[in-house]
Amino acid sequence: MSSSLSLTVRDSSTMLRRNLLHARRYPSLTLQLLLTPVVLLLIFVYVFGDVMSTGLGGHADRSAYIAYVVPGILMMTVGGASLGTAVSVCTDMTEGIIARFRTMAISRGSVLFGHVAGGVLQVMISVVLVIGVALAIGFRTDATPLEWLAAAGLTALVGLALTWLAVGIGLSSPNAEGASNTGLPLMVLPLLGSAFVPVDSMPGWFRWFAEYQPFSPFIETLRGLLLGDAIGKNGWLALGWAVALTVLGWMWSTSLFNRDPSSR
């Protein structure tokens, strides 16, 4: 058991190194996906900032809106980075070397674990970069180190969940384009949540969706940790969603990967 675990860890880290090598050699996909949240952040703050901030009620100004919008942008960054994993998993599956891996005495799951580990790493790096941009344009927080740590943990957990889903999307898509289309909700869903305006300012049916889709508790929890707002039940909801999506994505991906390639 422990030897099979160490085999898994060893092979997965080999696969991770391979994926990082790919990302380093061909960084365009990563950069492209990173660009979207950064550009959105700038547009929302500088173009719509004054208008949008009225949605916050009271006498909010632009800096208050930056603070409001950053957690949503960060979750969008997480979604975007995992979308990248969907595309790269899909492309990777068309590579002949995957067939070679399948005929080798290596840990069966290592190919996917490598992609997931690489995906989560990319999520974290992307989030750090976007936080850097946010700080540069005036985002301020009085979060304590413990709150930062919790925020990092939440980001990693959400990253893990979305990356596993992305792996499944990548495995089930016929080509890279299909993968990026199917995976688009990962990046767009935060927009349809509480990322840019509070949920209560939305029309009824939409509000219901926005409130209960997983990105809203993710965003609300992150907002609470970074800005000191009340988290309430959102913390548990976020945790529950993340764990559930992780398990779902993992089971889905594994069954897709272990399917006999000839029975398609």
Partner 1 sequence: MTTPTTPATPATPTTSAPRELAIAATGLRKAYGDKTVLDGIDLAVPAGTVFSLLGPNGAGKTTAVQILTTLIGADAGELRVGGHDLASAPDAVRAAIGVTGQFSAVDNLITGEENMLLMADLHHLGRREGRRVTAELLERFDLVEAARKPASTYSGGMRRRLDIAMTLVGEPRVIFLDEPTTGLDPRSRHTMWGIIRELVAGGVTVFLTTQYLDEADELADRIAVLHGGRIVAQGTAEELKRLVPGGHVRLRFTDPVAYESAAAALRDAVRDDGALSLQIPSNGSQRELRAVLDWLDAAEVEADELTVHTPDLDDVFFALTGSTTAADSTTSDSTTSGSNAGSTAPAARTAADSTADSKETVR
Residues that bind partner 1 (CB under 8 A): 10-11, 14, 17-18, 21-22, 25-26, 94-97, 99-106, 260-263
Q: Which CA distances in Å does 221 have to 100, 217, 230?
A: 43, 6, 8
Q: What is the SS3 assignment for 123?
A: helix
Taking the least distance from each CB to partner 1, the nearer of 97 and 244 is 97
Taking the least distance from each CB to partner 1, the nearer of 103 and 205 is 103
CB of 156 to partner 1, least distance (A): 26
Assess contact for 235 and 224: CB atoms under 8 A.
yes
CB of 91 to partner 1, least distance (A): 9
Q: Which CA distances in Å does 84 have to 30, 78, 80, 92, 190?
A: 7, 10, 7, 12, 16
Taking the least distance from each CB to partner 1, the nearer of 23 and 222 is 23
CB of 101 to partner 1, least distance (A): 8
CB of 99 to partner 1, least distance (A): 6
Helix residue ranges, H only, 137-203:
145-172, 176-182, 184-188
Taking the least distance from each CB to partner 1, the nearer of 2 and 262 is 262
- Find all residues with CB under 8 Å of 135, minimum gap 6, and list them: none
What is the b/e burial string over 117-156, where b = at least 16 CB atoms within 10 angstroms of the residue's CB?
bbbbbbbbebbeebbebbeeeebebeeeeebeebbeebbb
CB of 115 to partner 1, least distance (A): 14
Taking the least distance from each CB to partner 1, the nearer of 107 and 180 is 107
Taking the least distance from each CB to partner 1, the nearer of 105 and 136 is 105
| Owner of token pair 């580990």 | 117
Assess contact for 75 and 190: CB atoms under 8 A.
yes
Taking the least distance from each CB to partner 1, the nearer of 106 and 191 is 106
Rounded to an integer, what distance in angstroms lies between the CA atom of residue 187 and that of residue 81? Answer: 8
CB of 114 to partner 1, least distance (A): 11
CB of 197 to partner 1, least distance (A): 42
Q: For residue 155, which of 58, 94, 78, 43 has the smallest C-alpha distance?
A: 78
